[in-house]
């Protein structure tokens, strides 16, 4: 199944991030396309009138979005009062089919300068000569919806303008403020993916099989939700997961994929996910080789990320639940050792200090450069316990 979207809804985007779907991001715009200049602010009649006149002055057309059918004729009358010299049409989804078609064809042929409409224009319209958009109550619309509506202008080689208005800054909710600031920040071409990621953060991932697009993943945590989802998918596929819960890791070490190593955000997210879900050390070695082949020598933060995941796997094989590297020491717990096993550890690594107390085994850790030594220490503990 192939799906294409300008801005994936949170549920669909999360399905790709959790491995249920693959995702490819197309960021190359059509030739001659320009970013849409976006203005976000309090409602300003004079600014609206000036914007509509400027568009007509360059022989273009404008959309004026008023998303209330009950009062849309009043809104159109206000526009006529602001710019009496312009021709204003009205379109909304409750109009008779023939009449709506007639209005849209007249607008397409240039018989109207301004089309006052509801969100009926948000998808499917491609009118190159319409390059100014005014949204009256942008604070009441969703982030992906606003992005789709903004995409109705700027569909030619002309510079387009979008004006997103709200009634009063003091009345804005925190979520509405975040939505509008996101659109103001992400105006460059190809920014749909980042806007969709922001929408995922604001609304949640939604129901996997239901029709709700927003949900409450935060109630259980994103990582745990992904674990539960992966287990359910594996069980439905007839391969129940026998792996224990991942070892909880706490380490003051730089471990991430830098932007200057992998510039594409989608690829970075996918790499983090693949490393976190790796179940075998061989998988990590293959991933290390793949990274070197695709992006060049692995930098230290990426190397640390791989090694720490390898340490989690090794600690998990020991039956440990936590692996902590703080205050110059490493703690693997819970873990029970006999006196003979402790003696064997001291003999195998005479320069390391092992402290056995309350079923914990600790080893000094100095910093990122000692991460490999940490892994070696865990593997040595595993070897002794296995023996």
- Report the C-alpha gap between 269 and 196 in whole angstroms: 14
- Report the share of the chain in percent with pLDDT over 70: 70
Pair of tokens at residue 152:
């109705």
Q: Check residue 368 and give its pLDDT.
A: 36
Alpha helices in 95-173 (DSSP H): 97-108, 143-150
Mean pLDDT of 206-232: 59
Pair of tokens at residue 84:
């009496």
- List, in sequence order, every residue forming a beta bridge with 331; answer none if it has no partner: 324, 362
Averaging pLDDT over each range in 145-149, 232-236, 380-384, which range is the top one?
145-149
Pair of tokens at residue 114:
């301004």
Answer whether residue 221 shows pLDDT above 60: no
Answer whether residue 58 shows pLDDT above 90: yes
Q: Check residue 129 and give its pLDDT.
A: 93
Superfamily of domain 243-386: Transcription-repair-coupling factor, D7 domain (3.90.1150.50)
Answer whether residue 124 shows pLDDT above 70: yes
DSSP 125: -
Q: Mapping DSSP to helix (H, G, I), strand (E, B) and coil, where does residue 74 land?
A: helix
Q: Check residue 336 and give its pLDDT.
A: 62
Q: Check residue 76 and give its pLDDT.
A: 96
Q: Check residue 364 and give its pLDDT.
A: 37
The model's confidence at residue 374, banded by pLDDT at 50, 70 and 90, is: low
- What distance lies between CA 51 and its chain's CA centroid? 33
Higher pLDDT, 345 or 180: 180
- What distance lies between CA 336 and its chain's CA centroid? 42
CA terminus-to-terminus distance, the chain? 50
> Which residue in the block uniquely carries the two structure tokens 């006529």?
80
Mean pLDDT of 319-324: 76
Alpha helices in the chain (DSSP H): 10-17, 45-57, 72-82, 97-108, 143-150, 174-185, 192-203, 222-236, 265-277, 281-295, 300-317, 339-348, 371-386
Q: Check residue 204 and give its pLDDT.
A: 62
> Which residue in the block uniquely carries the two structure tokens 């050792």?
337
Q: Check residue 130 and give its pLDDT.
A: 94
- The alpha carbon torsion through 69, 73, 78, 84 (nearest 10 deg) reads 140
**257 phi-psi bin (left φ>0, alpha ψ -120 to 50, beta other):** beta
**How many residues make up the chain in this entry?**
387
Domain boundaries, the chain: 31-172, 243-386
| Cβ(60)–Cβ(152) below 8 Å | no
pTM: 0.55
Averaging pLDDT over each range in 77-81, 125-129, 265-269, which range is the top one?
77-81
Answer whether residue 121 shows pLDDT above 50: yes
The model's confidence at residue 207, banded by pLDDT at 50, 70 and 90, is: low
Mean pLDDT of 285-306: 89
The model's confidence at residue 201, banded by pLDDT at 50, 70 and 90, is: low
- List, in sequence order, every residue forming a beta bridge with 360; answer none if it has no partner: 357
Q: Check residue 99 and give its pLDDT.
A: 94
Sheet containing 161-166, strands listed edge to edge, beginning at the edge strand earlier in sequence? 37-42, 161-166, 130-135, 61-65, 114-117, 88-91
Answer whether residue 304 shows pLDDT above 60: yes
Answer whether residue 210 shows pLDDT above 90: no
- Report the C-alpha gap between 197 and 17 in whole angstroms: 10
The model's confidence at residue 242, banded by pLDDT at 50, 70 and 90, is: low
Mean pLDDT of 150-176: 86
Q: Check residue 75 and give its pLDDT.
A: 95
Averaging pLDDT over each range in 294-298, 332-336, 372-376, which range is the top one?
294-298
Superfamily of domain 31-172: P-loop containing nucleotide triphosphate hydrolases (3.40.50.300)
**317 phi-psi bin (left φ>0, alpha ψ -120 to 50, beta other):** alpha
Mean of the per-residue pLDDT values for the chain? 77
Q: How distant, in Å, are the alpha carbons of 64, 87, 133, 275 from that of 77?
A: 12, 11, 18, 59
Q: Check residue 19 and give its pLDDT.
A: 63
């Amino acid at each position: 199944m192939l799906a294409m979207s300008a801005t994936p809804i949170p549920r669909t985007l999360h399905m790709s991030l959790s491995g249920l779907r693959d995702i490819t991001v197309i960021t190359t715009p059509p030739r001659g396309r320009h970013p849409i200049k976006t203005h976000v602010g309090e409602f300003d009649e004079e600014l609206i009138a000036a914007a509509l006149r400027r568009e007509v002055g360059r022989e273009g057309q404008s959309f004026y979005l008023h998303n209330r059918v009950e009062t849309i004729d009043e809104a159109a009358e206000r526009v006529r009062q602001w710019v009496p010299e312009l021709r204003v049409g009205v379109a909304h989804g409750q109009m008779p089919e023939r009449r709506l078609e007639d209005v849209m064809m007249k607008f397409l042929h240039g018989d109207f300068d301004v089309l006052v409409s509801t969100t009926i224009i948000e998808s499917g319209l491609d009118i190159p000569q319409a390059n100014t958009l005014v949204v009256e109550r942008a604070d009441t619309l969703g982030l992906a919806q606003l992005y789709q509506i903004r995409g109705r202008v700027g569909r030619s080689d002309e510079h387009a303008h979008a004006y997103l208005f709200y009634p009063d800054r003091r009345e804005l909710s925190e979520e509405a403020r975040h939505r509008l600031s996101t659109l103001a920040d992400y105006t460059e071409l190809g920014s749909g993916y980042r806007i969709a990621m922001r929408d995922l953060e604001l609304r949640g991932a939604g129901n996997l099989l239901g029709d709700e697009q927003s949900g409450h993943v935060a109630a259980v945590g994103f990582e745990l939700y992904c674990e539960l989802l992966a287990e359910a998918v594996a069980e439905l596929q007839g391969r129940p997961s026998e792996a224990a819960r991942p070892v909880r890791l706490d380490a003051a070490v730089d471990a991430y994929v830098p932007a200057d190593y992998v510039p594409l955000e989608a690829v970075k997210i996918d790499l983090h996910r693949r490393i976190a879900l790796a179940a075998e050390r061989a998988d990590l070695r293959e991933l290390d080789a793949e990274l070197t082949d695709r992006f060049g020598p692995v930098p230290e933060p990426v190397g640390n990320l791989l090694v720490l995941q390898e340490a989690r796997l090794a600690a998990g094989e020991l039956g440990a639940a936590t692996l902590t590297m703080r205050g110059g020491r490493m703690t693997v717990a819970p873990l029970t050792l006999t006196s003979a096993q402790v003696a064997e550890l001291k003999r195998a690594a005479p320069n390391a200090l092992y402290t056995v107390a309350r079923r914990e085994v600790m080893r000094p850790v100095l910093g990122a450069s000692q991460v490999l030594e940490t892994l070696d220490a865990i593997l040595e503990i595993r070897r002794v316990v296995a023996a």
